[in-house]
Structure formats: C-alpha cells, structure tokens
Chain A
Amino acid sequence: MSAETAELRVALVGLPNCGKTALFNRLTGSRQKVANYPGVTVERKEGIFAAASGRRYRLLDLPGTYSLKPTTLDEAITRDVALGRVAHEPRPETIVLVADATHLPLSLRLALEVRRLGLPMVMVLNMSDVARRRGFAIDREALSRELGAPVLETVATRSGGADALIAELERLAVPAQPLASPAGWQEPTASEVTATHAEAARMLELAGYREPLRSRAVAMADRILMNPFAGMLILATLLFFVFQAVFSWAAWPMDLIDAGVTALAELVRGALPDGPLRSLLADGVIAGVGSVIVFLPQIVILFAFILALEDSGYLPRAAYLLDRVMGSVGLSGRAFIPLLSSFACAIPGIMATRTIPNLRDRIVTILVAPLMTCSARLPVYALLIAAFIPQRDFGVFNLQGLVLFVLYFAGVASALLVAWVAKLIAGGQSNHLLMLELPDYQWPNLRNLALGLWEKTRVFLARAGGIILALMVLLWFLSTYPAPPVGATGPAIEYSFAGQLGKALAIVLAPIGFNWQIAIALIPGLAAREVAVGALGTVYALSGDEEAVSTALSSVIASEWGLATGLALLAWYVFAPQCLATLAVVRRETNGWRYPLLMLVYLFALAYLAAFVTYRVTLAVAA
C-alpha cells in the first residue's frame, strides 16, 4: 500500500477531561464541544485529516474512562471500540493514550491496561503548557522505555500544539489487514487494578515525577467556593447576576437590531407594490424572522457566561454544592451536568445522561431535562417580559431580570418536584453514584470563548435563516389564504386556514386565557420554540393595520393582551411541551415511544395547569 492511499485508524483514549476532544479538534479542524468537566463526549466522533506526507488518518474521539471495565453506557463505547466489538466499525490500528500532564498517575494506570490490548500505542502528555508553567519535569525517555511506547508532549489548545503527535503517527506503518479483536481478553479484576496502580507509581518514580502540590490559591478558592454557606451564596449571586446581565447588557444591541428590522420592513413596503409578494416579504419573512433575530444579543450573553463557566472548572463544584438537593428528590449526583447542559438545549443534555450508570436514574433525568429552560425559550420569555413587566429598578436589581430569574427557577423547582414524584411512584434505591472528579480551575481561554460564541451565533442565525424562515413562509401562506370572502369585515387573516384553525384551538385554550393568535403561534412552535415568537410577529403583522406593524411586537401584544394572558403564556412556556426534536431524541435514547409519550403528556398537563392557575389568579388579583 502506498502512503497516498493508506489510511490509519487512530483512536483517542484517556481519562475524562484530559483534552481528548480538544486534541481531536486540533487535529481534524472540527469544532466538537470541549469543557472543563467530565462527561462532555458521550458518543464516538469520527474525523479525518491528512498529514503533510499525504497520508490520511481516521481519528476517533471517544468518551473518557478511568478503566476498560465500564460502569456507564458512554464508557462501554470506549471499551467496545478499542476491542473492535462494534458492528461495522473496524478496530482502530493505533491508540493515542491522552494523559493530563498535570495528573499522570491515573492516566498511566489506564495506559498499562490499554497496553494489554495489543495495539500500537502512543502516549501524549497533554496540557503540557500548564504542567510546564507549574514547573513540572518528567523524564519522558525513561517513561517511554518503561511503558514500551513513545511518550510525547502536546498542547491541544494551541495551534501547532499537536505537531509532535502527527510526526510520531507518520512513523507508524498501516497494517495490511484490519485487526482482529484480541482473543481471550478479559476485564481487569480489582486486584489487577491495584497492581497497575503500583506499577504506574513505580514507573513515575523512575521518571522523576512528583505529585503536584495543591496550590495555595486553589486551596483558598475551594475553601470559599465549596463552603456550604459562602459557596451557596456565591452560586446564587452568580446565577442572579447572569440573568440580570442578560437583560441589562442586551438592551442597546437589541434596540439596534430592532431598528434595523423595522427599517428594512419599511423599505420593502415602500419599494414594492401592494400585493402578495410585498406581504410575504414584509409580514412573513421580515416580521417573522426579524422578531426572532432581535434576541440574538441575549442568547450571546447567556452563552458567554455558560461557556466561561464551563471552561473554568467551577461547574463540578456547583454540582457538589447542589448534590444534597438533588439526592433528596432521588436524583443521581451525575444528573447535574446533563441538567445543566439542558439550559443550552435539552438535546445534548439528554444525551449526556449516558454518564448515569443506573437506568432508572437516567430515565428520570431524561424526563425532567426539558424543564430546564433551554435557550430557545429565552426569546419567548424576553418578548413577554418586555411586554408585560415594567422596567423598574430596585436598587441593584431590575424587575425584568428578576422575573427572568424566577422563571428559570420555576423550571428547576418543578424538575425537582417531578423527580420527587417519580421517586414516590417508581420507588428508587437510596444510594446514587456521585464520584465526580473536580478538575483544576483554569482561566477561560478567550480564543475558545470567542470561537464558541461565534459557533452559537452561527447556529442561531442558521436556524433563523433555515427552519424558522421556512416555517414563517409556510405560516404566511396558511395565514393569507384562502382570501376573505367579498364583503368581509374583519382582518383577512381571520378567514384564512391558520385563522380558522387558531379559532378552533382557541376554544380549548380559552380557559387559560390564550386567544386565537397565540393558538396559531403555538403550532409552529412545535418545531422550534423560538418560532412561536416569529409566528406572533407574522400573525400580528397580518392582522394589524399599517401603524401596528411598525411598532415593536412587544408593544403590540402589550396592548392587545391582558396582563393575565401574558403571564399565563409565560407559565405555559416554563413547561413548554412542544419540541419535536427533544421527543425524537428521547425516543432514540430510550429505544421506544413509552417515555417520549409520557414526557409529552405530563408536560402538556403541567403547562395547561400552570397557565390556568396563573391566568385565574392574575384575573382575580387584578379585579
């Protein structure tokens, strides 16, 4: 086989959080998610890259694991791939054992276990930048001799930081045949694990490795941040601050986008003759998509905080602080990270539940994940808050930020409640696994942060220009045709297909205060929650007079709806059962329709109940 056509299959194996995904991204140029906590990668990810020689590499990023005897679904993937037990997946021909250079013992022990698989292995000491900064020195030659494999240094987060690894891979030959699974391989026993610990310690001693001391700064930070009282206070303040910032910092860029969208709509209106095309562009596309895009600044601010926190190493500490609360409702401590990811979107959150060993725990976590307020709900909340909550300041707090905080909190509280009810119904063992590694703190890498934010912006805009745009066009058609009969009085939309449907649905929704316009908006909201905002934009653009269209959507609904309706819709969206993509992922992750249906029914019931109570109570209080 010539070097040009040959392809080497390389798998990245290592402990959680040692930088495998960062290395994968560095080598393949892709943008998989990295974060400073364990359990981010729960699937195998494949990427291809070519070295300078022209030879191609097929690189596999695998979930982190402490040993080849798995306790969770994601760890089992790593073992199965390494052993060549996965259907339609040839065995990797080389293993790159990724180690965190600042914490070698557990990585080296894993390396000894992996060595028994009989595959060529290269060990990389990643994060060597941090290790060097801390004055860490190791005799790589000695380690390499002892291990019987090359030992290299990498810095996955720096450009060129994996060049040594590429050079080493270039030296390896591609086997002529696919490798067979090793015969007679057995899971390491507990005493073998103890023995490999001792062996790793001996090798590290020979290589002159000294266990890093815990720095004073880290010790001090942990003493404060993990203190039961100070730590809790800081966590609460931090979260509070994030929601305040989402509102107060986003104000002026939002005004700017809003002005741009309005100006564009005016331009289109002025340039085109009255007719279907003008209406499609101005009422369908610009009013619809524009009303979603306005919320980009808030999404960016929220993610800036999330990404910075993820990189910092603080989040596993937050999991530690909240573990009692989680445990008391029967949730595994491992549920924290999946639930936290669900604040961005429930889908990665639900996939991250693979790190939960116990099946029952995992199902409960999946079922409550949609109660965490995903970022797609932020535009809905923000729109309604801007419309119905006055912008008033109480000292350092502003009322709008406070309401947003309460909404997020309501989601979390109901998740805990649902988990607790699930525990009552299904029973549950009392012993849940936590055993979470608390990584070192690190300053968020600004370049990663910028890249991450750009990625989120891109995804948001792609959604706005893709699925949201398509739905808006569809909705425009359904809201415009059939045209009203001659001599009709009300706005044309009332006679359209969507108008008729909305009015039919409004009968069911009337008890919770929703009008037919809201009913229409809820339907495309099934595909993506933020579409509900765009749909309201289109519906009101079509039903309003010229004057109403040029004012912001929030002022339109503020004048059209009563306070009770606005609050009821907020309450509805805390539960917001309508997200088809989430249901599809639940079906896939639980292999059946049982749990997605259960989720759909219970979320609908809660949404209706919450909206009903909110509506009635507000009416009663206001009266």
Chain B
Amino acid sequence: MSADPSRADAPPDSHRRLTMLAVGDRARVALVLEDDPISRRLIEVGFVPGAAIEVIASMWPAADPLAIRVGGSTFALRRHEAERIVIA
C-alpha cells in the first residue's frame, strides 16, 4: 500500500478493518476512524498508525468481543469498538 498511513485525511483503504482479521492474524494499524471518546481511548491505549497488532481471541458466534494485542498489552474490545480500527 503506497499511501502514508499516518495521514488521517487520506485513508489507505478504509475498508480493511481489524474486524476482518482471523484469530492469530497480525497487522499494522493505519488509523482510527471517528472522533469521539471511544476512538480517543483506542488511540490512548496504543492503536496509533504503525502499531503492530495481533488478534488473540474472538468470541463465538459473532466474533464479539475480540482480544487484541497491541504494543505489549492485550485489550478486550467489543466489535463495534474494533470496527473503528482501519489496518494497513
């Protein structure tokens, strides 16, 4: 992907979301969509452009919630929270 992932105004491909990954998949964060307390908190806990992430677990049946490893910490996220995270 050629677009600069740190530029929020030019999302590389906002269709590629964290929620599309399967358990065990790794990726890098491109950006976090929306500007509200949830997105803000996601950024604070380390979902920043370039951060490496890995899907640790997902709950049956609807893959909600998910457990995501980012920057050495693991977070449980509800699907609608993870939905905001666009991956590179």
Contacts and interface: CB of A to CB of B under 8 A. Distances in A.
Nearest to A219: B56
Given A66-B45, A435-B45, 12 more contacts: A190-B40, A194-B43, A194-B49, A211-B71, A321-B59, A323-B59, A323-B76, A434-B78, A434-B81, A435-B76, A435-B81, A438-B76
Interface stretch (A220-228, A445-453, A586-594): A220-228
Interface string A208-248: 00011010000100110011110000000000000000000
30 contacts: A66-B45, A103-B72, A103-B73, A104-B72, A105-B72, A106-B71, A109-B44, A190-B43, A193-B43, A194-B49, A197-B43, A197-B46, A211-B72, A222-B56, A226-B67, A227-B57, A229-B60, A320-B57, A320-B76, A333-B65, A333-B78, A357-B37, A432-B78, A433-B78, A433-B81, A434-B77, A434-B78, A435-B77, A435-B78, A437-B73
Given A226-B67, A316-B76, A435 B46 contact: no
A58 interface: no
Interface of B is mostly: mixed
Most buried by B among A197, A222, A229: A197
B26 to A, nearest CB: 12
A105 B71 contact: yes
Given A227-B57, A229-B60, A106 B46 contact: yes
B75 A66 contact: no
A105 B80 CA distance: 25
A310 to B, nearest CB: 17
B69 interface: yes
Contacts of A193: 40, 43-44, 48
B54 to A, nearest CB: 8
Nearest to B62: A324
A438 B45 contact: no
Interface of B: 35, 37-46, 48-49, 56-57, 59-62, 64-65, 67, 69, 71-78, 80-81
A622 B7 CA distance: 73
A291 interface: no
Interface string A297-332: 000000000000000000010011101100100000
A222 B23 CA distance: 12
Given A333-B65, A437-B73, A437-B75, A71 B43 contact: no
A69 interface: yes
Interface residues of A, number: 43
Contacts of B72: 102-105, 211-212
Nearest to B42: A435
A300 to B, nearest CB: 31
Interface in A187-203: 190, 193-194, 197-198
B75 A435 contact: yes
A211 B42 CA distance: 19
Given A193-B44, A438-B74, A214 B65 contact: no
B37 A437 contact: no
A5 interface: no
Contacts of A2: none
A565 interface: no
A496 B45 CA distance: 64
A206 to B, nearest CB: 17
Contacts of B80: 430-431
A614 interface: no
A69 B40 contact: yes
Contacts of A227: 57
A580 to B, nearest CB: 36
A67 interface: yes
B18 to A, nearest CB: 13
A601 interface: no
Contacts of B76: 316, 319-320, 323, 333, 434-438
Contacts of A320: 57, 59, 65, 67, 76
Most buried by B among A219, A223, A320: A320
Nearest to B52: A211
Given A321-B59, A436-B76, A67 B65 contact: no
A100 to B, nearest CB: 9
A109 B73 CA distance: 14
A436 B71 contact: no
